[in-house]
Amino acid sequence: MSTQRPETETETESAETDAEAAEGTPKERRLDEKRRRAEERERKRVEEAERVAADAERYHLKVFRYDPEVAGKQEPRFDDFHVPYETGMTVLDALIYARDEFDASLTFRHSCRQAICGSDALFINGRQRLGCQTQLSDLDQPVRIEPLPHQEVVKDLVVDMEHFYDQMESVEPYFQTTDRPDGELEEQRQSRENREKIKTSTRCIWCGACMSSCNIAAGDNEYLGPAAINKAYRFAMDEREGEEMKQRRLEIVEEEHGVWRCQTQFSCTEVCPKDIPLTEHIQELKREAVKSNLKFW
């Protein structure tokens, strides 16, 4: 008698048993399915929590946009950017991230990122500030970022600074003297007291924030402005230039659109990123101008 058939049946039954064992019992399959659904719910919960946390760590920026050379962008508007926050992040950091990650056409000025160059002065949440000096964590959201007011906008956050530079140049912002030492190699010395007097005025970084905040400058295009007058103060009060040059500088700043146009609103002093007492310097130049014109005879 042949035994081939039973062997085949035995192999088939064995294969079916192995398959059932691999699949598990109905109870085990139900438990596996229940476990899989629980794991899927947990995974979705974790992903949702991570998403919520990520959104909480993003800062909402509303950035002024304007491009006169591109059709469809000639009408001023605000674009929204949601930037992931990192400890110590500044407004300038956020703008750079928005430009690099979201919109390469976003235009603004920046250079040193250390509050020295003055190129990134902006109107942030209704106040003139340096982008590199302003911490995002100190601001309410959404963070509204605009170009400096009272100046012509070239593109997005970039304004035309030519008029500001012209006003600065008009006060001759460089050292001049007619009172040189007798010795050819002798130094032109400055007393400690005089250096302390003019020290704060030398901190000006030509950012234009003070000019932008000044209501007088906004209404009088010929007004020298606080930055230019402060620069005149820096040299007029420097004892090394001599009385003759001091008188020349006082004549420049006491003209019709000079120091007498200042109404002592202190707005320039409040927004100065280098804490220069601009209004105080303007008032001191007024006093010096009055004294220089007093005659006793």
φ/ψ region of 109 (left if φ > 0, alpha if ψ in -120 to 50, else beta) reads beta
Class assignment of domain 162-293? Answer: mainly alpha
pLDDT per residue rounded down to tens, the chain (297 residues): 444 545 555 555 555 555 455 556 887 888 888 888 888 888 888 887 666 555 558 999 999 999 999 888 899 999 999 999 999 999 999 999 999 999 999 999 999 999 999 999 999 999 999 999 999 999 999 999 999 999 999 999 999 999 999 999 999 999 998 777 777 777 888 999 999 999 999 999 999 999 999 999 999 999 999 999 999 999 999 999 988 899 999 999 999 999 999 999 999 999 999 999 999 999 999 999 998 877 555
Q: Which amino acid is at 63?
A: V
pTM across the whole model: 0.77
Question: Which CATH code for domain 57-159?
Answer: 3.10.20.30
Domain ranges of the chain: 57-159, 162-293
Q: Is 178 helix (H, G, I), strand (E, B) or coil?
A: coil
Do 57-159 and 162-293 share a fold?
Answer: no
- For residues 238-248, one letter each, b for 16 or more C-beta atoms within 10 angstroms of the residue's C-beta and e for the rest, the string is bbbbeeebbee
